[in-house]
Chains A and B, each alone.
Chain A
Amino acid sequence: MPQILVQDLAKTYRVAEREPGLLGAARGLVRRRTRTVEALRDVSFSLERGELLGFIGPNGAGKSTTIKILSGILRPDSGRVEVGGLVPYADRIAHVSRIGVVFGQRTQLWWDLPVIDGFDLLRDIYRVDPVRYARTRDELVSLLRLSTLLDQPVRQLSLGQRMRAEIAAALLHEPDVLFLDEPTIGLDAPSKLAVREFVKRLNRERGVTVLLTTHDMHDIEALAERVIVIGHGQVLADSPFEQLRNDVLRERRLFIDFADDAPHIDLPGVEVRARGGRSLELAFDPSIVPAPRLIAAITADYAVDDVHVEQPAIEEVIARFYDLHGAAEA
């Protein structure tokens, strides 16, 4: 029995249209035009307990709609959704007491209150047993290095500090499932690493099921073995990330520094991408010519100083994927 089950989810919105200009604004006072947006057409997937899923897609693809339905704050038009055996929007209070949700750049904590006061208030809201709460809180404070921040009002924290406090806040009631919506957006590099590290440990050591939506592909690289790509309200891919990469952009790059001037290379499955005085950047398909054979072929004929191989950047892979499926942002 999967912990999270989503079947044939569909959702359509009606959006009010505003006409531009002064005349349009005046007309808007009298009559409103709406258009329908099909946010989700037919989405299905399931997660087992303890999985860590990366949820990606261009803006407007349906990611946040899916997350809202899974968290119980939005009702789908049709389809089946269950989390831990509960239907989120039907059993709202029971459901939300078992999940944690973190929105990037927004905080659920009280702006003017010290962090610790906010935590205590959440304890009362979630009706957590005080003894368990104290233990959970202390653990989270230590793991996320919050002890020096506890007495500060939330408004005085930096974004990185706030995000760490935010993650702690979402876990005080020990949820089985954690939804992370763009958790690293706007964070500096050390904070991003800290967040990724923590989430990975949380998933691996505590078995918390994690569903992560993000535009930062390095989050995906660091955390998610499995990735779902959403576009136009449909699931475009649901596979381990490496498989996605191989399916979409198999090519590799070979960078060569020659001892003399860079020669002309003409080999099957190999394309010259860039040429410098003594260097070449080649793109090649490893299924046609594996990297070792290509390197051997070149070094056999020419004197080579240095060589290295790269996979294309993740962003390129994903961008190419969106392109292939016509899913790029309108």
Chain B
Amino acid sequence: MNTNQPPTSSTRPPTRSEFEAFYREHYAAVSRFVTRRVALSTHDDVVAATFVVAWRKFSTVTNPSLAWLYRIASYEVSGEYRRQGRQAQVVELNDLNLVGSAPVGDVVDVSRAFSQLSENDAELLRLVYWENLSRNEIAEVLGLSVNAVNVRYHRALERFSGALSRLDVIAGTVEPTNPPTQEN
């Protein structure tokens, strides 16, 4: 993950050109983060709202990193959920990458197992496996300590494995082959 250094000191708002450089550096990552969590029709709005907030707060943080942007984006996503009157995005079957390469029944089962997780568990796993963040970065996004992230990660994985087992997708205990990295 590319951690951006602030182009300005922390005492004055960034100029438009300074913030535009920051925006263009991180647009793709934030766009992907948002796409994975809200309906495509609201993507642009949520991304824009994220950067508007970031612009306003840019001078108040010492290191406006991508993890910081993700944290803002998560608030905007939560706001979008509230506006839509739902807890989390329902992953549509047609959106899954596995369609076409795996039996539809398997995809449905995996999706169903994932949907049984709490939003906290699901979000942590998204950050690990969709955003490919390190534990330190996840800790910054979620406002947790690294140790807390480690504990929650393993518990979330256990719960996902349990849900899969109950759906007979996978029998027995499953261990992750590649846990999140320790360092940035």
Q: Do A and B bind each other?
A: no
Residues of B in contact with A (beta carbons under 8 Å apart): none
Residues of A in contact with B (beta carbons under 8 Å apart): none
